[in-house]
Amino acid sequence: MLRIKRVATVVSNYQKEEAGEVARPVRGCGRNCLKSCCIQDAKLPLYAFKRLNKVGEKNSPVDEVREPPVAFLDSLILGEWEDRLQRGLFRYDVTACETKVIPGEYGFIAQLNEGRHLKKRPTEFRVDTVLQAFDGNKFNFTKVGQEELLFQFEASDDGEVQFFPNAPIDVENSPSFVAINVSPIEYGHVLLIPRIFECLPQRIDRDSFLLALQMAREAGNPYFRLGYNSLGAFATINHLHFQAYYMAVPFPIEKAPTKKMTILKGGVKISDLLKYPVRGLVFEGGDTLEDLSNTVSDACICLQDNNIPYNVLISDCGRQIFLFPQCYAEKQALGEVSAELLDTQVNPAVWEISGHMVLKRKKDYDEASEENAWRLLAEVSLSEERFQEVTALVFEVIASGELDAQASCIDEVDVVTTSDHPAMVAGTQECLVLQ
């Protein structure tokens, strides 16, 4: 059985001081960081994406087949990620982790990652407050090494996709970076860090969310998803960032049925998620990508302002977005989570909620089952009553009297409750093993 190589816990690879480490060229402070001591004259590849269509124009970038730029961004991400893998910049080899699809209606994905918990950075902020000020004394992405950055990701000046293999880093204009996650949970696991030098706390705004949708659109790969965790919903760093990786199977959340609630005047459809252990909202459509982005980001801002932790999954090349208000950390603090679930040491963030269960113990992996996954995720979900209250708050912000009079609903379908999956049971070994 393949196991993860155990290495010492570090905050970021640039801080390694172990004897025998391959020496890096001395510049600035000698750590090749992103501070003013080292960033001068630094260069990095730049991927410049096509600017957003104007309002009123047909928004077709995610629907068109644009082979050259789509293939290029994919190859850029994976090529740079593979380069960092070969250079030994990751804390462990995630490709050695056992992974399987669990038999069942939804096909939950189980991964055994015994090393990730041991190397996880301790949380350095309150877990009961969604909005907290950025603290430069705590770990943030300006402290990583430049070798952990893959490329800059910015809008093109001339409206066309462009690539510059060795572009200067314009600190004054605070570029957005794509970087490796040195503790990956899947192949190609990267971070999107908007306007890094502005040192924004972990809170969504309209510009940052639009940038994340642009990345999903440019990748044009349905197996490439982006995720976001707020503070209080298992974000571990209070510096604005999204996560993304490749998973070549459908996520269980993508298989769940939905019930249309309304359509906004801008063409954005909002649906209720059905027959899934975590209650959530689904956003699709929009006359432009900006319509969709603004609707979702306004919903996120509403949750932030009301101190409601949440997770977001950007799926289907940016066409479909799932929003999950959650309460697992609150239940933990109140002692309302069973010892059996706490012993798994699984903190259900966006990937777990979406159906990719990252397990820390061999026992849990061997016994992985749809019932077990369902039971854990049911503890993440708001109650039906609380979810309706939160949904009302969100609609008050994003609707603003602009609901389409022709909005309609499909036939009512009962929401699956946790009682349909009541017990923790041992899983079967008849699982599809992912290569």
pLDDT, tens digit, 9 for 90 and up, residues 249-303: 999 999 999 999 999 989 999 999 999 999 999 999 999 999 999 999 999 999 9
Per-residue confidence band for 399, with pLDDT thresholds at 50, 70 and 90: confident
What is the enclosing helix (H) or strand (E) of 225?
A: strand 224-229
Which tokens go with 25? Answer: 């060229």
> If we measure between CA atoms, which residue out of 340, 316, 369, 302 comes closest to residue 100?
369
b/e 356-391 (16+ beta carbons within 10 angstroms → b)? bbbbbeeebbebbbbbbbbbbbbbbbbeeeebeebb
**Per residue in 132-152, pLDDT tens?**
999 999 989 999 999 999 999
Helices 206-219 and 67-86 pack at an angle, to 10 degrees, of 100
Residue 271 inside a domain? The answer is yes
Residue 3 inside a domain? The answer is no
Residue 4 inside a domain? The answer is no
Q: Residue 121: what pLDDT?
A: 55
Average pLDDT over residues 75-99: 92
Q: Residue 115: what pLDDT?
A: 63
Q: Residue 335: what pLDDT?
A: 93
Out of 189, 239, 241, 421, which one is annotated catalytic? 241
Average pLDDT over residues 356-363: 94
Please list the residues that pair with 259 across neighbouring strands.
272
pTM, 2 dp: 0.84
CATH of the domain at 217: 3.30.428.70
Tell me: pLDDT of 431 over 50. no
Residue 12 inside a domain? The answer is no
Residue 168 inside a domain? The answer is yes
Task: Please tell me the least confidently modeled range out of 29-33, 313-317, 412-416.
Answer: 412-416
Q: How many domains does the chain have?
A: 1
Higher pLDDT, 247 or 435: 247
Higher pLDDT, 359 or 13: 359
Give the position of tokens 């077709």. Answer: 60
Is residue 241 among the annotated active site residues? yes
Distance CA 391, CA 40 (A): 47
Residue 416 inside a domain? The answer is yes
Domain extent, residue 245, equals 34-433
- At 34 the three-state DSSP class reads coil
Residue 16 inside a domain? The answer is no
